[in-house]
Amino acid sequence: MRNRKIAALALVGAFMSCAMAQDSGVSFYHKNWELACDNIGTCRAAGYGNEDEASGSVLLTRIAGPGTVPTAEVTLADIESDGSSPVEKLTLWIDGKSVGAVKPAKNEVWRLSESQTLALIRAVKGSGKVEFKGGPAPFVLSGEGASATLLKMDDVQGRIGTPGALTKKGAQPESSVPTAIPAPVIQAVKVTKEQERPLTAAEIAVLKPKLLATLKEDECDRLQSPQDNSEESGDGITLTPLDKQYVLISALCWRAAYNEGYGYWVIDSALKTAPVLVTDSASGYGQGEIFMGQKGRGIGDCFGTANWVWDGEVFRKSRESTTGMCRYIHLGGTWDLPTFVADVKPAR
């Protein structure tokens, strides 16, 4: 059960599709391609080489709405590079023919032109061979899974049957494509500067049953198993004031080989009301924000992340994302593939 939970928490390697809505996005993967569409309608499709060829990745991004065009970026693997010979020129080749140099952008990313992007898409949908030459070895982009992923992108954005579809084009007017959804707005609220403190034994006796009542069977194992959450283990329950009315309760919920998750609950400062669980998989808290960063595997080449912001009454999810498949490309992850974004207004 723990291994399954870690994989889900890391949000890497196993995805589930869900309907586009204001509070959710869409994730999909097939073979060497994956898709992440966020809650405002922007979709990002990432393609890789074969799994035994850790050479690079391509990212196709398309914002929602009629008339928009996909953009493409490419990055080369650098985990095994010593950085002594940086790539100075990168060229796109399709079916053995040069399609021109790719322009460097920033942070080890190169950006394709519109014509190069469309040529790449045509190639990966069929049987074309796409290569990027100029690095230590050619990066051969796999087409396996590309057609299904691009079809899913068109489906999520409502483009199937329109002239702008990447896959199943048609005569439906481009104006029928849904426009982007406005991002939810979160007004952050300042929190008190009072410090975190451990709960007293009397407070734990009152509060712990309430915390347990918020949990499902597979949530916060260590809190549900007293022998695993003793004060001697250093995993006691703590309290951090948010304001005069609310406090934040925290407890270590689980530990695995290379991840751990903390539970966070909001309750009134008198500890009398029912606590509200925010998450049992956070990595930390600071200045009104709970954040999560979980590795997909020990080397740290893929992560799942999430954030929640205090709005004066509840912690609201402000972002959820992964860095893409675990493909040994960059330490820290390859891309930023959000499935949820929000417009967070700074605390006044």
* Same domain flag for 140 and 242: no
Cα 212 from chain centroid? Answer: 29
Eight-state DSSP code of residue 24: B
Residue 86: its pLDDT value, please?
Answer: 85
340 Cβ neighbours under 8 A, 6+ residues apart: 23, 24, 25, 38, 39, 317, 319, 320, 321
Give the integer Cα–Cα distance in Å for 316 and 278: 9
> 152 and 222, same structural domain?
no
Residues 210 and 70 in one domain: no
Give the pLDDT of residue 300.
Answer: 97
- Same domain, residue pair 165 and 201: no
Tally of domains in the chain: 2
For 51, the token pair is: 């799994």
Domain end point (choices 185, 203, 223): 185
**Type of residue at 64:** A
Q: Which pLDDT belongs to residue 38?
A: 98
CA–CA dist 14, 8 (Å, integer): 7
Give the H/E segment covering residue 10. helix 2-10
Q: What confidence score (pLDDT) does residue 84 get?
A: 64
Do residues 343 and 184 make contact, with C-beta atoms less than 8 angstroms apart? yes
pLDDT, tens only, 154-190:
999 999 999 999 999 999 999 999 999 999 999 999 9
Residues of the chain with pLDDT under 50: 1-22, 229-234
pLDDT tens, 280-307? Answer: 999 999 999 999 999 999 999 999 999 9
For residue 338, which amino acid is it?
P
Same domain, 106 and 255: no
Query: Which domain-ending residue is among 162, 185, 208?
Result: 185
List Cβ neighbours of 52 (8 Å cut-off, separation of 6 or more).
none
180 and 49, same structural domain?
yes
Domain extent at residue 47? 2-185
Same domain for 180 and 214?
no
Query: Tokens in use for 237?
Result: 């329950």
Query: Residue 34: which residues within 8 A CB-CB, separation 6 or more?
Result: 15, 27, 28, 45, 46, 145, 149, 324, 325, 337
pTM for this entry: 0.91
| Other CB atoms within 10 Å distance of the CB of residue 76 | 22
Same domain as 238, residue 108: no
Contact 230, 244 (CB under 8 A): no
Strands 343-345 and 185-187: parallel
* Residue ending a domain, choose from 185, 200, 220: 185
Residue type, 170: G
16, 74, 144, 304 from 47: Cα distances, Å: 18, 9, 9, 18
In this predicted structure, what is the pLDDT of residue 80?
82
The whole-number pLDDT of residue 227 equals: 59
Q: Are residues 211 and 172 in the same domain?
A: no
pLDDT score for 107? 87
Instruction: Name the one residue in this structure whose structure tokens are 């009301």.
Output: 273
Residues 173 and 49 in one domain: yes
CB atoms < 10 A from the CB of 100, how many?
Answer: 13
What is each CA distance from 266 to 188, 216, 273, 312, 328, in whole angstroms? 16, 17, 10, 11, 38
Indicate if 201 and 181 belong to the same structural domain. Answer: no
The pLDDT, as a whole number, for residue 182 is: 97
User: Are residue 28 and residue 132 in the same domain, yes or no?
Assistant: yes
CATH code of the domain in which 151 resides: 2.60.40
Pick from 322, 214, 203, 316: nearest CA to 270: 203
